Amino acid sequence: MQGIVGAQTAPVVVLKAARVFDGEATHEGWAVRVKGDRIEAAGPAADIATSNAEVVDLGALTLLPGLVEGHSHVLLHAYSETPWNDQVAHEGLALRVARATNHLRLTLMAGFTTIRDLGTEGAGYADVELKQAVEQGIIPGPRMLVATRAIVATGTYAPKGFVPEWTVPQGAQEADGVDSLIRTVRDQIGRGADWIKLYGDYRWGPHAGSHPTFSLEEMKLAVETAKSAGVPVAVHTVTVEGMRRAILAGAETIEHGNEGTPEIFKLMVEHHVALCPTLTAGGGMPKPGETESPAVTRRRAVFKAALDAGVTILSGSDVGTFPHGDNVREIERMVDYGMPNLDALRSATSVAGQVLHMDIGQVKAGMLADLIAVEGDPVKDVEALRRVRFVMKGGVVFKEVERGAAR
């Protein structure tokens, strides 16, 4: 028999650590009180009541909000293992889902407690049910915001290279114009999309490089339709014209933005559009002795222009194109490309919480108790994020601190 209501019996845990990065700044000697799935209090240890609480001493570790991956594809695995075309065309749904369960576990254990997964790339609505599996405790994984199939203009996406008479299943859902675009947006929301993802440009047509796909009017229709359900829109776009249309249409985030200019970044700031730069997907870093590729040099300059313009940056890596669990590469890359450590950390915590409209990314009363502890001080050295020793999501511990690790 259960006689007492849950709110009174929710377990209480007090976490103590050498320092707490709260999403904005670092504090020495703080403690955090967690009740149920939320943070009840955070502040100087002397002010945090430990009555009726289990006290977990994290010793010399740094406690911080669980990290956020702003752009993932858990239904893809590294292109170095299998090219995208072959994954979409030759790997079946069950195989892809089986891999994805591993990807989700690796992501959580790497300290990423929330992901925004931007398209299943041919794996239907599997993201919706993976999210359910995590929420029901069937498999360990981060919180998931999902986009289902993503939306592309007819003829613009891949796999390509088949005889024109063949209709090949595409890596995303095709839709165009008033009727089918509105219906597709509604259909994806009806099947569980938390975000709508549009491809605003892609490599299509007779000329090399990316070219705009949806018209401004089409993008506006999609945004307006999604807005009725409170669903935000993310737009993949690398060209200036694609970015311009996405901004004016009311997209909330732009994915990649590879060819952004100071003028277009200024427009993003004016319209409060965040950039998810996916620098990791923009080309490999040179090995010692090698010179940097021109593509990487360009991305550096473009990212700097975005920072100089004051664009809100959501940390997102396009993980899935490279191994899951190595998401921290993006934060390291942003720092390498000139973003101050503190800002890079914010873009994966507090700023991410704001951009994604979730109670995450800050260590403060009322937030979800998504907390990790790392060895070292990530504000001084982002590589500390590779030494995750403790992971809590929604008040539940998924990685227990080992004896000795806290020293």
Read off the amino acid at residue 203: R
Residue 298: helix, strand or coil by DSSP?
Answer: helix
Residue 150 beta carbon to Zn ion: minimum distance, rounded to whole angstroms: 9
189 Cβ contact partners less than 8 Å away, ≥ 6 residues apart: 196, 226, 229, 231
Query: Nearer Cβ to Zn ion, position 17 or 302?
Result: 302
Stretch that binds Zn ion, among 20-28, 179-187, 194-202, 316-324 (CB under 5 A): 316-324
Residue 122 beta carbon to Zn ion: minimum distance, rounded to whole angstroms: 13
Residue 157 beta carbon to Zn ion: minimum distance, rounded to whole angstroms: 12
Stretch that binds Zn ion, among 7-15, 102-110, 206-214, 312-320 (CB under 5 A): 312-320
User: Is residue 201 at the binding interface for Zn ion, with CB under 5 A as the rule?
Assistant: no
Contact track, Zn ion, 265-304, x by CB under 5 A: ----------------------------------------
Query: Nearer Cβ to Zn ion, position 347 or 350?
Result: 347
Stretch that binds Zn ion, among 21-29, 317-325, 379-387, 399-407 (CB under 5 A): 317-325
User: Is residue 318 at the binding interface for Zn ion, with CB under 5 A as the rule?
Assistant: yes
Stretch that binds Zn ion, among 11-19, 310-318, 323-331, 349-357 (CB under 5 A): 310-318
Contact track, Zn ion, 25-64, x by CB under 5 A: ----------------------------------------
Kindly tell me the number of DSSP H helices and DSSP E strands found in the chain. Answer: 12, 21
List binders of Zn ion among 211-230 (CB under 5 A).
none
For Zn ion, the nearest residue by Cβ is: 318
With CA atoms as reference, report the closest residue to 401 among 370, 377, 372, 360: 372
Preceding amide of 169 cis, omega within 30: no
Residue 29 beta carbon to Zn ion: minimum distance, rounded to whole angstroms: 41
Helices 240-249, 216-228: crossing angle, 10 deg rounding:
40
Residue 341 beta carbon to Zn ion: minimum distance, rounded to whole angstroms: 25
With CA atoms as reference, report the closest residue to 315 among 72, 18, 48, 31: 72
Which residues are paired to 388 by β-bridges? 374
Q: What angle do CA 123, 124, 125 make, to 5 degrees?
A: 115
3-state helix, strand, coil in the chain (%, to 5): 35, 20, 45
Site size for Zn ion (CB under 5 A)? 1
Stretch that binds Zn ion, among 44-52, 225-233, 305-313, 318-326 (CB under 5 A): 318-326
Query: Nearer Cβ to Zn ion, position 79 or 365?
Result: 79
CA distances from 49 to 10, 128, 374 (A): 16, 39, 24
Cβ–Cβ under 8 Å, residues 66 and 81: no
- Residues making contact with Zn ion (CB under 5 A): 318
